[in-house]
Amino acid sequence: MNTETFFGKASDTLLPVYSPELLLVRGNGSWVWTLDGGKYLDFATGIGVCSLGHSHPKISEAVARQAARLSHVSNLYLTQPQTELAELLLKEAFPGRVFFANSGAEANEAMIKLARKHGNTSGKSEIITMENSFHGRTLATLAATGRKKYREGFGPDVPGFVHAKFNDIDDVRDKITDNTCAILVEPIQGEGGVIPATKQFMKGLEQIRKETGILLLFDEVQCGMCRSGAFFAWQRFGVAPDAFSLAKALGNGMPIGAMVVKEELKDVLGVGTHASTFGGNPVSCAAATAVVELMREEQIARKALETGAFILDALRQMGKRFDTVKNVRGMGMMIGVELDREANTLKQALQKKRVLVLTAGENVLRLMPPLNASMDEVETALLALESALEEIR
Ligand SMILES: Cc1ncc(COP(=O)(O)O)c(C=O)c1O
């Protein structure tokens, strides 16, 4: 069967919520291949998931080994990979507890339930989230999401969410009421256009936490797992949350999400209050354990910091030569190039040059390279970007 046949089948069988442009069949390191043998440099990494590249031998081996040994028993029984992974994550974060889910939205749902259960004991239930934020596609995470476009047509919104201006601590303070139980923030807004929080804002949130006891929750689904240049993005700001969520790069492609909570909150969700059939399944946990070990052994956070700084600098220099480029920003290897037009134009031009990238919002080109990409690969992407910018000038 050729590529057209598969696209034909897809349009006859799959719900049309996506609009894929390529049929990918194989990946290796920073590269992916189409059915027709087209080779692409992947700086989209499955939306920041394959941070250690495609088909990493150690991760593939961990998956194969665990799948052959025990792939699922549910949480009615304990499995080794889940406890091993939880221990590793807590070592990187702080003393506490971990709940495993299957996706980012699900990890955030767990955090929302944690905040409500904690708040309900004193009659509080409202969560302040940020304008322009993105937290997922389930109904509660949609209501938490600040970007209206995702919520349109799915009303009524789940109640209990109030949106404040991102990076505006006075606005957050204005939105606090006697009913506020938590504040939920992405330390680096991803879908909203790659916008890092300011240190001042994060410190302000920490101060509010100290003064009021309102829980501080971070959504690290996109910016976590070394992407920011630290193991967790909150570590770059020196502000620890009460709980934070992870997903995307945690499994390097195996579906897994996690909520990490501080020791003091370990008993908020007791037996029977929350659950997931697949959450923390042994195969995903074995993959994620290999991911965390590799990230530590290979000092991937430091690599992301250094390579990210190089890319940011190169893009800022490049940006000066093109009026199309309005701003270059980011943190670590989560990088946004704001344009004076729809970023999709540039994305398409790059795709023709066999480089895959993402957009974020309408006008921002988003680069999420593998964190272990070689300097040659980085140079290849930068050259392609420069030539694509020339083309759309
Ligand atoms: C910050 C953030 N939170 C949550 C999600 C939702 O994750 P998932 O698609 O795995 O449900 C995303 C996905 O892009 C995200 O970027």
pLDDT tens across 78-109, in order?
999 999 999 999 999 999 999 999 999 999 99
Residue closest by Cα to atom 9 of ligand 1: 104
In angstroms, the CA 23 to CA 280 distance is 30
Helix-then-strand count for the chain, H and E? 13, 17
Average pLDDT value for residue range 108-127: 98
Numbered ranges of CATH 3.90.1150.10 in the chain: 3-56+299-392
For the CA of 47, the nearest atom of ligand 1 = 14
Between CA 85 and CA 217, with CA 197 as vertex, the angle to 5 degrees is: 45
CATH topology of domain 3-56+299-392: Aspartate Aminotransferase, domain 1 (3.90.1150)
Write out pLDDT tens, residues 2-60: 999 999 999 999 999 999 999 999 999 999 999 999 999 999 999 999 999 999 999 99
Find the 164 Cα to ligand 1 centroid distance in Å.
20
SS3 content of the chain, % helix, strand, coil (to 5): 40, 20, 40
What 3-state DSSP class applies to 73? coil
Find the 189 Cα to ligand 1 centroid distance in Å.
11
Q: Tell me how far apart the 2 most distant CA atoms of the chain are, in Å.
A: 63
In angstroms, the CA 331 to CA 273 distance is 37
Contact by Cβ (8 Å): 44, 357? yes
Name the pLDDT band for 281 (thresholds 50, 70, 90).
very high
pLDDT of amino acid 41: 98
Find the 47 Cα to ligand 1 centroid distance in Å.
9
Average pLDDT value for residue range 264-293: 98
Average pLDDT value for residue range 67-75: 98
Residue closest by Cα to atom 7 of ligand 1: 104
Question: Which residue ranges have their beta carbon within 6 Å of ligand 1?
Answer: 47, 103-105, 108, 134-136, 186, 190-191, 219, 221-222, 247
Residues 6+ positions from 276 with CB-CB distance below 8 Å: 75, 100, 101, 102, 106
Name the pLDDT band for 1 (thresholds 50, 70, 90).
confident
CA 297 to chain CA centroid, Å, is: 22
Kindly tell me the burial class for residue 184, based on how many C-beta atoms sit within 10 Å of its own C-beta (0-12, 13-18, 19 or more): buried
For the CA of 189, the nearest atom of ligand 1 = 1
Tell me the best of 134, 147, 244 to mutate to test the pocket of ligand 1, counting ligand atoms within 8 Å of each CB and taking the most.
Answer: 134
Between CA 319 and CA 329, with CA 323 as vertex, the angle to 5 degrees is: 40
User: Which residue from 223, 265, 277, 248 is spatially nearest to 75, judged by alpha carbons?
Assistant: 277
User: Which residue from 21, 26, 31, 52 is spatially nearest to 347, judged by alpha carbons?
Assistant: 21
pLDDT at position 243 over 90: yes
Find the 245 Cα to ligand 1 centroid distance in Å.
10
Average pLDDT value for residue range 247-273: 98
Give start and end residues of each alpha helix (H) in 72-138: 80-92, 104-120
Find the 259 Cα to ligand 1 centroid distance in Å.
13
pLDDT of amino acid 7: 97
pLDDT of amino acid 334: 98
CATH code given to domain 57-297: 3.40.640.10
pLDDT of amino acid 111: 98
Contact by Cβ (8 Å): 282, 89? no
Numbered ranges of CATH 3.40.640.10 in the chain: 57-297
